[in-house]
């Protein structure tokens, strides 16, 4: 069954996703509110297909303007976070060119950022400004890359520039991969789900699908805002500390259960 599981999951995923892609494109063109919330309901279905049981701690923001700042563990973070709230992502420009996944990112109204070109970055900031004015929730991975699911890399304060617009809240979010087949996730199994370093996407995805159902905890912390004496660097450090502490606590509870 383990060998057949990836085939079955991908077949069901394709059967559901391919017909819904043109529908979401129609929403993007004609119904902005539905274009915002439809991916959330779609990704909740995707998690069921993938066998991911989601536990939400705290109260996720339902409306913007807001920036959700989260640690980054895996490609699985995308459907996990998308199932929590009606969000869009801030992603590196290269994602836009990825086969199939780039199309999904565009349909979710991702803001693509070219971090190597000053002029292009300015254009992205203008786009984020417009999205915040429209009341959107944007997700930022301030580590700049994914990690091993046990540690949190330093948060880059420059990425929090998007929070400098008026009335934009910042909600720290922690993702913890805590369970596997009803038991605590072990350090041996975690690399099947944490996608980082030089891991190739296709074989990693296949191995993850073959391993079976998992549990993921998403901790939504109290929203913050820039203002007063809180600078961008201080905000980045504060959010990083919150996420580190929350991840450590979630993994500690997991280890105690094991």
242 Ramachandran zone, left/alpha/beta (phi>0; psi -120 to 50): alpha
Q: Residue 109's closest CA among 82, 147, 84, 83?
A: 82
Peptide bond into 109 cis (omega under 30): no
How would you write 165-191 as a 3-class SS string?
A: CCCCEEEEEEEEEEEECCEECCCCCHH
**Parent domain of 123:** 5-257
CATH code of the domain covering residue 68? 3.40.1130
The alpha carbon torsion through 191, 197, 199, 200 (nearest 10 deg) reads 140
* Three-class secondary structure of residue 209 per DSSP: helix
C-alpha 131 chain-centroid distance: 18
Q: What is the pLDDT of residue 123?
A: 63
How many folded domains does the chain comprise?
A: 1
**pLDDT of the chain along its 258 residues, tens only?**
567 889 999 999 999 999 999 999 999 999 999 999 999 999 999 999 999 999 999 999 998 899 999 999 999 999 999 999 999 999 988 888 888 999 999 999 999 987 665 544 556 777 888 899 899 999 999 998 899 999 999 999 888 887 787 788 999 999 999 999 888 998 888 998 998 888 888 889 998 998 878 999 999 999 987 765 678 888 999 999 999 999 999 987 765 555
Please state, in angstroms and rounded to a whole number, the distance separating the CA atoms of residues 19 and 26. Answer: 12
Please state, in angstroms and rounded to a whole number, the distance separating the CA atoms of residues 233 and 130. Answer: 24
Number of Cβ within a 10 Å radius of residue 241: 13
Per the CB < 8 A criterion, the answer to whether 225 and 169 are in contact is: yes
């Amino acid at each position: 069954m383990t060998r057949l599981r990836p085939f079955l999951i991908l077949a069901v995923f394709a059967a559901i996703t391919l017909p819904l892609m043109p529908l979401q494109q129609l929403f993007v063109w004609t119904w902005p509110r539905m274009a915002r919330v439809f991916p959330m309901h779609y990704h909740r279905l995707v998690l069921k297909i993938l066998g991911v049981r989601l536990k939400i701690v705290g109260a996720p923001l339902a409306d913007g303007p807001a920036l959700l700042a989260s640690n980054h563990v895996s490609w699985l973070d995308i459907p996990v976070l998308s199932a929590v709230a009606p969000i869009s992502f801030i992603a590196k420009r290269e994602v836009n060119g990825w086969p199939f996944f780039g199309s999904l990112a565009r349909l979710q109204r991702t803001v693509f950022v070219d971090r190597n070109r000053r002029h292009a970055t300015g254009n992205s900031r203008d786009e984020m400004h417009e999205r915040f004015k429209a009341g959107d929730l944007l997700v930022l991975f301030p580590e700049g890359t994914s990690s091993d699911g046990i540690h949190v890399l330093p948060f880059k304060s420059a990425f929090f520039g998007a929070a400098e617009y008026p009335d934009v809240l910042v909600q720290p979010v922690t993702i913890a991969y805590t369970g596997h087949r009803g038991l605590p996730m072990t350090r041996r199994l975690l690399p099947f789900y944490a996608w980082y370093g030089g891991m190739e996407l296709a074989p990693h995805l296949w191995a993850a699908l073959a391993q079976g159902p998992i549990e993921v905890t998403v901790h939504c912390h109290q929203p913050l805002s820039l203002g007063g004496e809180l600078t961008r660097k201080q905000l980045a450090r504060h959010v990083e500390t919150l996420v580190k502490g929350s991840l450590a606590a979630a993994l500690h509870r997991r280890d105690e259960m094991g």
